[in-house]
Amino acid sequence: MPLPPLPPSNTKRYWVVTQGPQTEHRTQVRVDASVTDSAALIALNADWTILMAETSVNYNIVGLEVAQAGSDVRNPVPGWAPLVGAAAGIGGQQFARSFSIRGRSADGRKMKMLIWGLSSATQPDFQLAPGAMASALTNFLASVNTRAGYYLSISGLKPVYKIDMLESYNDHWVDELRP
């Protein structure tokens, strides 16, 4: 039996704002209702700081936005310290490349989070397996899996995440990059 749909605003959500040379992306992070903005600033900044070792120098994490459960209104969270990528620069087709982290919660709902601007080498099978991933990516995934109250599914439950990442080319951004 299929699961009934839930409204996108079912949980409190934060968006980590990534800015690249030609694009701006927002990665949504669902959290427990008890998470405060000050706690989110600390936790999400710590997680994305881990990721900066594998993020291209031409990508920066420039902000954090929040929407309360039941609301679709996003508000900036003051106090975010911008993070600058430290890995090799990317260009061309790599601007349309995203990396996904996938999981499933106890109620059966799937969860996917997209990350942009990583400078990882292209994989022939589009999978960054644990042995092929840089330690920064492995450490980021470990934090996603273990940080209580963060990275929840739409139903508000903590998913069990896979320990790899999938590489993909986003067709919307491919179209945006075409002349």
User: How many CB atoms are closer than 10 A to CB 121?
Assistant: 10
Q: What are phi and psi of 123, to 5 degrees?
A: -100, 140
Q: Rounded to an integer, what distance in angstroms lies between the CA atom of residue 88 and that of residue 85?
A: 9
Q: Is the pLDDT of residue 32 over 90?
A: yes
**Alpha helices for the chain (secondary structure H):** 37-51, 135-146, 171-177
Which tokens sit at 140?
């980021």
Cβ count near 152 (within 10 Å): 23
Q: What pLDDT does 39 receive?
A: 98
Residue 174 clears pLDDT 90, i.e. is over it = no
Model pLDDT for residues 74-126, shown as the tens digit of each residue = 999 999 999 999 888 888 888 888 899 999 999 999 999 999 888 877 788 88
Residue 166: pLDDT band (50, 70, 90) is: very high
